[in-house]
């Protein structure tokens, strides 16, 4: 799940206190499993509207803006383009009618990936800025890529931890962001970058799973080394406001991402 408010921060949700149910040994509630659908009311019972369904609707201008932003990102954002090409090379080509849905969401969530429907949700009421939309799309496409390439089981907390680590590593924890927040300096960047990735992955897990922080930390630590080193399909940790995404897009052609 992507982060609310902006591409570098998130607001947690206390599922444990709200549900107050008995959890299994894995930390997931066996009586009332909650995989983050709370944030997406259109996912609960009703059939979600797909991208092109909304083009013919009479909903608010928010719908049109969301769709316009998504189209711009798909055509112009190098990270989004690279991830789409990578998924195509693995036999998972993106279809706008099928795989992207602009919806109203609760709280301050910007987007999410629904593995049941294999669909990315863009929260149109929380992603007015084009830059946020592109970051959300790239983040969720990372999950979709992992689902396609590695057959990630999102009910498995270790699988979830791995894909959240990869999304934070590839899309969020840049030096500029860490430096601006006071979390890193030129002398401790390597260590603080890993700390940033762990924190963001943990935050995302706690938002969508009824587990304790200790259980989330255990899952993140267990898979961290392997997943932190996995930079596919980008091949690098991109610096913000650099040419890294463009270079990664060009380099992707050598790996069949065209």
Q: Where are the domains of the chain?
A: 35-255
Is a pLDDT exceeding 50 seen at residue 204? yes
Average pLDDT over residues 128-148: 94
Instruction: Enumerate residues 6+ apart whose C-beta is below 8 A from 145.
Output: 83, 86, 87, 90, 92, 232, 233
Position of tokens 């982060």? 3
Distance CA 118, CA 132 (A): 21
pLDDT value, residue 231: 96
Cβ(52)–Cβ(97) below 8 Å: yes
Helix (H) or strand (E) holding 35: none
Confidence of residue 106 (pLDDT cuts 50, 70, 90): confident
Residues assigned a catalytic role? 140
Give all strands (DSSP E) within 104-223, no chain letters.
111-114, 119-123
| Phi, psi (deg, nearest 5) at residue 92 | -125, 65
For residue 36, is it left (φ>0), alpha (ψ between -120 and 50) or beta?
left
pLDDT in tens, 12-59: 222 222 333 333 333 333 333 466 778 888 776 545 555 555 555 545
pTM (two decimals) = 0.78
Confidence of residue 166 (pLDDT cuts 50, 70, 90): very high
Mean model confidence pLDDT for the chain: 79
pLDDT value, residue 27: 36
Average pLDDT over residues 124-132: 89
């Amino acid at each position: 799940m992507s982060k609310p408010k902006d591409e570098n921060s998130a607001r947690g949700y206390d599922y444990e206190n709200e549900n107050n149910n008995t959890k299994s040994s894995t930390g997931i509630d066996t009586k009332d499993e909650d995989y983050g659908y709370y944030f997406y009311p259109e996912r609960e019972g009703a059939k979600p509207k797909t991208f092109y369904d909304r083009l013919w609707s009479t909903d608010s201008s928010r719908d049109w803006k969301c769709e316009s932003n998504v189209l711009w990102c798909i055509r112009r954002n190098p990270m989004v383009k690279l991830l789409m090409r990578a998924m195509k090379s693995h036999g998972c080509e993106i279809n706008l009618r099928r795989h992207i849905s602009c919806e109203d969401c609760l709280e301050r969530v910007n987007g999410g990936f629904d593995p049941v429907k294999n669909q990315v949700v863009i929260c149109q009421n929380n992603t007015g800025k084009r830059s946020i939309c592109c970051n959300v799309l790239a983040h969720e496409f990372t999950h979709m890529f992992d689902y396609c390439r590695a057959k990630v089981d999102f009910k498995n907390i270790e699988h979830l931890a791995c894909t959240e680590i990869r999304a934070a590593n590839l899309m969020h924890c840049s030096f500029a962001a860490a430096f601006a927040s006071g979390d890193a300096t030129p002398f401790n960047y390597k260590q603080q970058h890993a700390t940033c990735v762990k924190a963001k992955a943990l935050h995302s897990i706690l938002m969508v799973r009824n587990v304790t922080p200790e259980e989330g930390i255990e899952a993140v630590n267990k898979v961290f080394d392997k997943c932190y080193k996995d930079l596919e399909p980008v091949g690098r940790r991109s610096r913000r406001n650099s040419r890294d995404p463009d270079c990664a897009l060009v380099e992707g052609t050598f790996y069949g991402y065209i």
